[in-house]
Copies of this chain bind each other. A is one copy, B any other.
Amino acid sequence: MEDSAASKRSVTVADVAKAAKVSKATAARVLGGYGVVSDKIKDQVMAAAAALEYRPNELARSMSTGRSGIIGVVVGDIENAFFSLAVRGISDAARLAGYNVIIANSGEKLDAEKSAVDLLIGKRVDGLIVTPARCDGMDHLHHVRRAGVPLVLFDRSIPELGVDAVTGDDRDAAITATRYMVDRGHRHLAYISAMDDEDGGLIDTGRISNSAVRERVEGFVSVLKEAGLPNPLCSVRFGATDQQQTDAVVRRLLSEASPPTALLASDSLVGLRIFRSLQSLGLSIPSDVSMISFLDADWTSVTVPPITVIDQRVYDMGKLAGERLVARIERTPLAVERLRVGTSLVVRGSVAAPGR
């Protein structure tokens, strides 16, 4: 017990060198696995290192080499299945390339995102993957570029930044899902997102600061327009940030003059909340209200009815982002581009013709 109480100075190359009776440089060479050393001496050093339980100080190593071997990832909310799946994809790609990952949460707040980025830059990460909370406000990201740290955007793109982005095909996905519902006869639809409520309702889709949401909304709206349905912008609702807010959004929607008969949920958290709202209102799916949710989250397949979803292949998105960043770190010559990962509609049982 007492032996661990005092945080003793850890054993260094110098200690190993002394024990092995060689110079620091020689010990460092075998311990660091670089340069050339005779087998005999190598064995000596290894034996000494093992005896002393030497563990390299990666901090010092990074200081000398200028590489930390760490990839920084800033996500919106690690508890969201979307992000934890993405992080696994990123981690897998990173590990394969010999990098480790350090994760920070922004809570989708610009301020938190800024400090997370600063922190990671401070730790001298070799590269950064970030899910920008807003596609305006990007000074901190410009700074990352100026600092020469490779950057890949995830899930959302900011063309003005001139960096790679890995996203879904959000517009197409929204179009497919919306059309699917329109084709089944729905004339009153609503799109529901957890984004902060733009006060005063949505005037202009171009002003939505999250590019993924913007493109989905644009896809949604375009289908409504092409079907000749009125006021498509009024069918887009924000603010479904928690169960209570979602209940309010859904209740307000359903008490309108022409209530929607079909709902499109912007992510699986919103989808789950909508499901609960409808359930608590005693409405049944799909006979009273149809719904489709983004993301093939686990809960969507075990409800009654199971939920029709847009499968986003988030793991692949994460993996691709990780691979892309590694390529950048290693200076592979590559044009800056936006990589889109395709989605597909998984038809289950939550959409029917508008009923009664």
Pair B302/A279 contact, Cβ less than 8 Å: yes
The count of identical subunits is 2
Is the beta-carbon distance between A79 and B84 smaller than 8 angstroms? yes
Interfacial chain B residues near A143, Cβ < 8 Å: 53
Q: Does B8 contact A148, Cβ atoms closer than 8 Å?
A: yes
Residues of B within 8 A of A303 (CB): 302-304
Chain B residue nearest in CB terms to A105: B91
Q: 0/1 per residue, A142-160, Cβ < 8 Å to B?
A: 0101111100000000000
Spell out A's residues near B (CB within 8 Å). Answer: 1, 3-8, 10, 53, 55-60, 62-63, 68, 78-79, 84-85, 87-88, 91, 100-105, 118-119, 121-124, 143, 145-149, 162, 272, 275-276, 279, 298-299, 301-304, 336
A sample of 17 inter-chain contacts (CB < 8 A) reads A4-B148, A8-B147, A53-B143, A55-B121, A58-B122, A78-B87, A78-B88, A79-B85, A88-B105, A91-B105, A100-B102, A101-B103, A272-B298, A276-B301, A299-B302, A302-B302, A304-B304
A84–B88 CA distance with the chains assembled, in angstroms: 12
| Bound: A118/B57 CA distance, A | 11
The contact of A103 among B55, B103, B272, B298, by CB within 8 Å, is: B103
- Please, which residue of chain B has its CB at the minimum distance from the CB of A58? B122
CB A60 to nearest CB in B, in angstroms, measures 6
Interfacial chain B residues near A87, Cβ < 8 Å:
78
Tell me, in angstroms, the Cα distance from A304 to B87 when the chains sit together: 31
Q: Which residues of B contact A122 (CB under 8 A)?
A: 55-58
Q: How far is the CA of A96 from the CA of B101 in the complex (A)?
A: 22
Q: Is the CB–CB distance between A148 and B6 below 8 Å? A: yes
Q: Which residues of B contact A10 (CB under 8 A)?
A: 147-148
**Which chain B residues lie closer than 8 Å to A8 at the CB level?**
147-148
> Are A146 and B3 in contact, CB atoms less than 8 angstroms apart?
yes
Is B63 a contact of A124 with CB atoms below 8 Å? no
- Residue on B nearest A275 in the bound complex, by CB: B302
The answer on a CB contact under 8 Å between A7 and B298 is no
With contacts A58-B119, A59-B68, A272-B302 known, what are 6 further pairs, Cβ within 8 A? A10-B148, A55-B121, A57-B124, A78-B78, A79-B88, A100-B104
Complex: A260 Cα to B301 Cα, angstroms: 25
Q: Which of chain B's residues has its CB closest to A329's CB? A: B7
- For A58, list chain B residues within 8 Å (CB): 119, 122-124
Q: Once the chains are docked, how many angstroms separate the CA of A56 from the CA of B143?
A: 14
Distance A105 CA – B103 CA, assembled complex (angstroms): 12
Q: Are A124 and B4 in contact (CB under 8 A)?
A: no
Q: How far is the CA of A182 from the CA of B302 in the complex (A)?
A: 27
CA distance A57 to B162 in the complex (A): 26
Query: Which residues of chain B are within 8 angstroms of A299 by Cβ–Cβ distance?
Result: 298-299, 302
